[in-house]
Homo-oligomer: A and B are copies of this chain.
Amino acid sequence: MAEIRIAVVGVGRMGMTHAQNLAGRVRGARLVAVTTSNEERAAEARHCCGGVVVYPGLDELLASERLDAVCISSSTSAHADNVVQCAAAGVHIFCEKPLALSLADCDRAIAAAENAGVKLMVGHVRRFDAGHVAARRYIESGAIGKPLVFRAISGDVDPPPPSFADPAVSGGLIVDAMYHDLYLSRWLMADEVERAYAEGGALVDPAIGAVGDVDNAVVTLRFIQGAMGTLFVSRTCRYGHDLRIEVIGDEGAVQIGYFRQTPVRLLDRQGVHHDMPRTTPDRLSEAFVVELQAFVDSIRDGVQPPVVGADSRATLEIGLAATRAMHEGLPVSI
């Protein structure tokens, strides 16, 4: 089959990574173009992705290129409109998470893709990390028995700027930074959430409190079949980018993640010392390649992508419920 002609919409940090992976590491795809109105970004894209054409925006891209697919890495607020526009153009769509910050926008984007008969995959990158894949396989094999509890921590080293932390832009801490854990809880527990409770606070960064968000929160989940979840998310995890999940069943448990980046330890009179991951690429660079490969393969094979719009909508729904629970101080049913 011919190569999938693909373009990246928006080459911020995340989009540039996608562009490089599409240019050099994803098989069966050809990166033909990117969009950005930023000159520096355009120059960097030209440098790292030989031969790529740069357009100022999505209109120009769709008007000029014959594409099979797009990878949307624009700002979250633009996702739904971008999806609708690309669906109308008849191209398959990979969209960064979250699909949107409201359920209505999710529904609009999902409907547009369905009506146009194009694929809509949402970027849930950790779903493609070897550790998470192996954990899911262990669970499906029965190695841990019936899943009882989902435990997660997601810690980022540094808080984002207040302009992004603003819940109107980011969706708030839980929607933004606990998103992956909320999705993974559904995927690993093979169940749906029926109730959420949360506590949170702007305990470290007053600027985050000033825009109406919190910088640390804990969330309790109740699943339909009785299992439970206990999650912690932090924007101020100075010791590292701490992504860990445990699923404990009635026969065993799986633990994903570890405290080590570079394979070296220093031993001295003070003890034993080693580093740990500090950034998302430290921990997940391979998963970004596997994720886009899965998207390209789903087009080539004519099958449904492994993560679809409804997954992002269901994840958002939990995040919104937990956020409301946090603000109201009461559990919220979904």
Q: Which residue numbers of A lie inside 8 Å of B, CB to CB?
A: 3, 23-25, 27, 30, 47-48, 50, 129-132, 134-135, 138, 143-146, 148-149, 151, 153, 155, 195, 197-201, 203-204, 216-218, 220, 222, 226-232, 234, 236-240, 248, 250-260, 262-276, 283, 329-331
Known: A25-B24, A148-B204, A250-B236. A272 touches B263 (CB 8 A): no
- Contacting residues, chain B, for A267 (C-beta < 8 A): 144, 239-240, 252-255, 259, 276
- Contacting residues, chain B, for A283 (C-beta < 8 A): 263
User: Could you say which of A143, A216, A217 has the most chain B C-beta atoms within 10 Å of its C-beta?
Assistant: A216
- Contacting residues, chain B, for A248 (C-beta < 8 A): 155, 232, 234, 237
Known: A264-B135, A331-B330. A220 touches B222 (CB 8 A): no
What are 10 A-B contacts defined by CB distance under 8 Å?
A: A3-B50, A131-B263, A144-B266, A145-B238, A148-B203, A148-B204, A218-B220, A230-B232, A258-B263, A263-B283
CB pair A272 B264 closer than 8 Å: no
- Contacting residues, chain B, for A47 (C-beta < 8 A): 27
Chain B residue, CB-CB nearest to A277 = B263
CB pair B271 A252 closer than 8 Å: no
Chain B residue, CB-CB nearest to A130 = B262
Chain B residue, CB-CB nearest to A329 = B331
CB pair B197 A220 closer than 8 Å: yes
User: Could you say which of A130, A131, A134, A200 has the most chain B C-beta atoms within 10 Å of its C-beta?
Assistant: A134
- Contacting residues, chain B, for A3 (C-beta < 8 A): 50
CB pair B264 A131 closer than 8 Å: yes
CB pair B251 A228 closer than 8 Å: no
Q: Looking at the complex, which one of B228, B234, B268 makes contact with A149 (CB distance below 8 Å)?
A: B234
Closest beta carbon of chain B to A242's beta carbon, Å: 8
CB pair B263 A238 closer than 8 Å: no
| Measured CA separation A306–B272 after assembly (Å) | 30
- Contacting residues, chain B, for A151 (C-beta < 8 A): 153, 232
CB pair A138 B203 closer than 8 Å: no
Closest beta carbon of chain B to A83's beta carbon, Å: 28
- Contacting residues, chain B, for A230 (C-beta < 8 A): 218, 220, 230-232
Q: Looking at the complex, which one of B130, B146, B259, B260 makes contact with A203 (CB distance below 8 Å)?
A: B146
Known: A234-B248, A248-B234, A272-B275. A264 touches B228 (CB 8 A): no
Closest beta carbon of chain B to A154's beta carbon, Å: 12
Q: Looking at the complex, which one of B148, B240, B256, B269 makes contact with A234 (CB distance below 8 Å)?
A: B148
Chain B residue, CB-CB nearest to A331 = B329
| Measured CA separation A74–B27 after assembly (Å) | 26
Chain B residue, CB-CB nearest to A225 = B203
- Contacting residues, chain B, for A263 (C-beta < 8 A): 129-131, 256-258, 283
| Measured CA separation A240–B331 after assembly (Å) | 32
Q: Looking at the complex, which one of B146, B204, B229, B259 makes contact with A218 (CB distance below 8 Å)?
A: B229
Closest beta carbon of chain B to A59's beta carbon, Å: 29
CB pair B138 A216 closer than 8 Å: no
Instruction: Known pairs A149-B216, A199-B228; list 14 more (Cβ under 8 Å).
Output: A23-B24, A134-B262, A149-B234, A151-B153, A199-B220, A216-B228, A218-B229, A228-B232, A239-B251, A239-B253, A255-B265, A271-B275, A272-B274, A330-B330
